[in-house]
Structure 1
Amino acid sequence: MSDDNLISKMTEQSRENLKRLHDIVQKTMEEEQLIVNNLLNPPQEVLSRGQQISDKVARFGGSWKFIILFSLIMMVWIVYNMMAPRGADFDPYPFILMNLILSSIAALQAPIIMMSQNRQEEKDRMRSENDYLINLKAELEIRSLHQKLDLMVEDQIRQLYESQVTGVNLIRELYEKVEKLQSK
């Protein structure tokens, strides 16, 4: 094999390797495009009026402001009905009206808070899906890097083998030339 043929063969193989690397990069970019689009353009959350109200009620119902305000109202209720003269008290000692109001508030507040928690759970699920997509994107990038490295190592091993074969062939040619010169 002549040196020109060897050089053109090595050049062609380098071009093929570059083309394979380019194909790997292109394929990786296409795979990642869907993931990137989902991360950059998350679906917009459209809240109904009821969902907005349930979020506000849950936010207020789970705050210290609500607890302090509600405790103050109950204390004022109890103190007024205990201290008011007979006839001016609207809910005497067993506080039946207060118990009815507390039960009604609890009965209404519980499902509203549960609706808000269900929506929060849905948000958490969407957040975990985004985390999964980010992890998947990272995995695809790592896989692509492994493919590129494998291709480069394979190419280097092949080139090393070819250079060794070329070196051995040149040594043989030199050996044959030396043998011919010695035999003359």
Structure 2
Amino acid sequence: MLTDLEKNVLGKSADELNASEKKVITRARERRAVSTDANEEFLSGADFGDRLADRIAWVGGSWTFILCFFGFLVFWALLNTVLLTTDAIDPYPFIFLNLLLSMLAAIQAPIIMMSQNRQAERDRFMAAKDYEINLKAEIEVLALHQKIDLEVLKELRELRGEIAEMRASRKE
């Protein structure tokens, strides 16, 4: 069964509506809010691996990590060139350090890519939430317009009736 909302507002039949549009129309009919904490809702669907990837990317992309890692590199270079001139663990050109850095990059890169994929998912999720809220707002605005139009028409009918009565009383 087609309702005025589906036909007039969305220009679609009830069968053509997607789940998001059906949800918005149902909530509009029930006069309930559509907006929720989208970030919390998105994170509720995250598993342990997703949360871990986000956390690692957050730490790995922070100034604290960059400065600490730079400090570690300086410490490693000083330790192996100045302090341990005779029995250096990793003498210049720091082959072992190079291996460690390569392994870190090999592990960190896919984790950061996973986090970027999740950010893209989050952006799509937020866009869908924005669409729902905008659609509900549009439906509410159209409903208000319809109420105002009906009220104006009612007043016009009453005014016409009063004018007709005045004319009739003048003729008598």
Provide the secondary structure at the position in 2 that maps to 1:91.
coil
Q: How many residues align?
A: 145
Farther-moved stretch of structure 1 (72-81 vs 159-168): 159-168
Match of 2:161 in 1: 162
Provide the secondary structure at the position in 2 that maps to 1:39.
coil
Match of 1:85 in 2: 85
Output one character per residue of 1:113-135: Cα deviation in whole Å (capped at 9) or x when no partner.
11112212222222222222222
| Residue 59 to residue 41, structure 1, CA distance change in 2 (3 Å) | closer
Question: What are the within-5 Å matches in structure 2 for residues 37-48 of structure 1?
Answer: 38-40=34-36, 43=41, 45-48=44-47
Q: Which has the higher contact order (CA 8 A, sep 6+)?
A: 1
Q: Percent identity?
A: 40
The two structures have a TM-score, normalised by structure 2, of 0.72
Question: What are the within-5 Å matches in structure 2 for residues 22-171 of structure 1?
Answer: 30=26, 32-33=28-29, 36=32, 38-40=34-36, 43=41, 45-83=44-82, 84-86=84-86, 88-171=87-170
Shift of 1:39: 2.9
| Residue 34 to residue 129, structure 1, CA distance change in 2 (3 Å) | farther
Distance 1:112 1:34 in 2: 43
The two structures have a TM-score, normalised by structure 1, of 0.68
Farther-moved stretch of structure 1 (145-154 vs 91-100): 91-100
Match of 1:181 in 2: none
Shift of 1:31: 5.3
Shift of 1:169: 2.0
Distance 2:101 2:159 in 1: 84
Unaligned runs of 5+ in 1: 1-28, 175-184
| Residue 48 to residue 97, structure 1, CA distance change in 2 (3 Å) | same
Larger radius of gyration: 1
| Residue 103 to residue 31, structure 1, CA distance change in 2 (3 Å) | same
> Going by fraction, where is helix more abundant, 1 or 2?
1
